[in-house]
Amino acid sequence: MAEIPGRRPAPPREEVFAAAMAAIAEHGLAELTMAGLGRRLGMSGGHLLYYFGSKDQLLLETLRWSEDELGRRRRAALEAAAPAAARLDAYVALYLPTGAGDPRWTLWVEVWGRSLAVASMRTGQAAIEAAWRSDLVVLLRQGIADREFRPVVPERYALRLSALLDGFGTPVVTGLPGASREAALEHIGEYLDESLHRP
């Protein structure tokens, strides 16, 4: 971040993103304001707006930062010396929320909602989702080539599985009664066994 003349230097962008994620984890998005985040960082909300332009942009960049870190973990899991089925299970485990109020997923839900009205949010969201699906398509192709998976059209299957994961993940992160990470993993595992894993 550049420095505004006459003000103390701004914290690095990563510090801002980490503070935003910590605030979401503690209080949820309803409590996340530019002024409140600025207080955490020892700066004004206006100072933050100077660097990010809008709260929408701050949320999108925080999501990108979070997903970059998770993307490194995802790629490490997918490149592990393990059967394709085990690597797919690791992918699913990384994708789903850890539970109600998971800050990363809470941020996702907010970005989905805001993307209805903000084109830049839609574009940014689509790019992040595309990275998940691209990695999944590669894994599916490997599993099919190694005869671990039934032959499917990888791109179509990846789109369907992504929708299934989103469908199970949203009730988990919002804490709907009866929704849990464990139940979601069980249902998704059954779907994978029935639709993809070789008998």
Residue 176 CA to residue 171 CA, distance in Å, equals 5
**Which residues make up the CATH 1.10.357.10 domain(s) of the chain?**
67-195
Confidence of residue 4 (pLDDT cuts 50, 70, 90): very low
Q: Are 32 and 109 in contact (CB under 8 A)?
A: no
Mean pLDDT of 168-188: 96
pTM over 0.95: no
In CATH terms, the fold of domain 1-53 is Arc Repressor Mutant, subunit A (1.10.10)
User: CB of 173 within 8 A of CB of 100?
Assistant: yes
Give the pLDDT score at 167. 96
Residues of the chain with CATH 1.10.10: 1-53
CA distance 58 to 77: 29
Amino acid at site 43: M
Domain 67-195 falls in which CATH fold? Tetracycline Repressor; domain 2 (1.10.357)
Segment 147-175 shows an average pLDDT of 96
- Give, for 117, the enclosing helix (H) or strand (E): none
Query: What is residue 77's three-state secondary structure?
Result: helix
If phi > 0 it is left, if psi is from -120 to 50 it is alpha, else beta; for residue 43 that is beta
